[in-house]
Amino acid sequence: MENIVELTAEEVGVIEEALENYDKQFIRFPRKGCLSLGIKDKSGQLIAGLDATMTAFQILYVSTVFVAESHRRKGLGRRLMAELEKRAKSLGANTIRLDTFDWQGRAFYKALGYEEVGSYCHHEDGYSEHFFVKFI
């Protein structure tokens, strides 16, 4: 009988490559790339940033967006997202997707034109996760 084991980082790379090779028969033009953008204040302190990775089907997945609390509501997040959208197009992306929780940026993403395409509630903890896309 086969055994279930914990994978090493190298083994994770093996299965990711195997899945990518399998997907190539269904995906016409797989593209890769990433965007990691930040904003620093005058002293060089990082006060806002985001991280995104190109996935299959020309979709850019935004995994992290953060603005330091003392710098919120000053347009920094909006500037970062506008730059992300501009650069995403140059990578060949036609869609941006992201997810957020209730206490994070749900209203922010809606205001930027992102469409909420789904959500689910963590009933035990009483909060929801929301999924957004924007076609660019």
Q: pLDDT for 1-12, tens place per residue?
A: 899 999 999 999
On the question of pLDDT at 75 being above 70, the answer is yes
> Vertex 99, ends 70 and 83: CA angle to 5°?
60
Predicted confidence band of residue 29 (pLDDT cuts 50, 70, 90): low
- What does the alpha-carbon distance between residue 130 and residue 84 come to, in Å, rounded to a whole number? 20
Q: What is the CATH number of domain 31-135?
A: 3.40.630.30
On the question of pLDDT at 111 being above 70, the answer is yes
